[in-house]
Structure 1
Amino acid sequence: MALNTHFSRALAKQRGMSYWGWLAIIAVFGFGLTVVSKMGPAYVDAHFVEEGLHSLAQNSGVREMSNTQIKRELDRFFTINNVRGEPTDSVKIIRGADSTLVSINYELRQPLFQNVDVVMKFNKQLNTAKPELCCEPLVDLEQFRKRDDY
């Protein structure tokens, strides 16, 4: 008889998760899914921006290309990979004495829910003097912002 009481107490303790526990898990999962669905496309585009700069870095004649040719080459890559909007409008080309800098620096504001927005900043650069360091920002472009020559 004592053994039977012990089993009934053990079974009473193993009822599983409560309604509130399941509700909390579903809410956390739903929030995570919302965040991924809202922010994911921006990071996919950023990945393709980086891939576009890598493909441009593979081209040995980038230094001799005109600004229009560089932008056309990037636009072709972006069109194939369905990159639209801010990344394509943010291409800046700065010519130096011994290198060309192709910069894609942009900021996206994505509404998450109601009055909460997520701000994502992306800064990718290709310096033809150091193509092996492609896509990491090597030059602070704030010094050029005062001049409108880029």
Structure 2
Amino acid sequence: MKSMSRGMTVWGLLVVMALVAFTALLLMRAVPVYLNDMKVQNALEKVATDSEMSDAGGRALYGALQRYWDIERISHLDPRDVRVVREQGGGRIFEYDYEARISLIANIDLVFYFEDSVPIGRRP
């Protein structure tokens, strides 16, 4: 009786390993960008919910944001690029949108776009 071996060939194993390596590369490049955006959101929420900042002027708000940016080492977005916008009801909100571009391989980049708004002076 003839026995037939079944299983993965060397070429199949190489393809699977290449896919795993490429996925790992994508994750290693993408996760820090998302963690950075989480730091941005956290900094804005902390400044926005600070009771001393509810009636503060723009200079004080941006100073507080700059302190968080320095402590958390936030990149891809400058605190001056965060806008303070007045709502129709008289309240204010932080708004931001930015694009993060990360080199993947040679001249191939990953591009991430983030935007959000956080009300100032109200608990989330």
Q: TM-score range by the shorter chain?
A: 0.7 to 0.9
Q: Per-residue deviation at 1:49?
A: 0.6
Q: Per-residue deviation at 1:107?
A: 0.9
Counterpart CA distance in 1 for 2:114 and 2:75 is 14
Structure 2 counterparts to residues 14-93 of structure 1, below 5 A:
14=6, 16-93=7-84
Counterpart CA distance in 1 for 2:90 and 2:120 is 9
Instruction: Say what the alpha-carbon RMSD is for the aligned residues.
Output: 2.2
Q: Per-residue deviation at 1:102?
A: 1.1
Residues 24 and 89 of structure 1: is their aligned pair in 2 closer, same or farther, counting only changes over 3 Å? farther
Q: Report the equivalent of 2:98.
A: 106
Residues 113 and 69 of structure 1: is their aligned pair in 2 closer, same or farther, counting only changes over 3 Å? same
Q: Per-residue deviation at 1:78?
A: 1.9
Counterpart CA distance in 2 for 1:109 and 1:89 is 19
Q: Report the equivalent of 1:122.
A: 114
Q: Per-residue deviation at 1:98?
A: 1.3
SS in 2 for 1:13: coil
Counterpart CA distance in 2 for 1:89 and 1:129 is 19
Counterpart CA distance in 2 for 1:87 and 1:38 is 21
Please, what TM-score do these two structures have when normalized by structure 2?
A: 0.82
Please, what TM-score do these two structures have when normalized by structure 1?
A: 0.69
Q: Report the equivalent of 1:137.
A: none
Structure with higher Rg: it is 1
Name whichever structure is richer in helix by fraction: 1
Q: Per-residue deviation at 1:52?
A: 0.9
Letter paired with 1:123: E
Counterpart CA distance in 2 for 1:40 and 1:47 is 11
Q: Deviations over 1:55-87 (max 9, x none)?
A: 123212333111111111122112211112425
Structure 2: runs of 5 or more not aligned: none
Contact 2:62 2:80 in 1 (8 A): no
Structure of greater relative contact order (alpha carbons < 8 Å, 6+ residues apart): 2
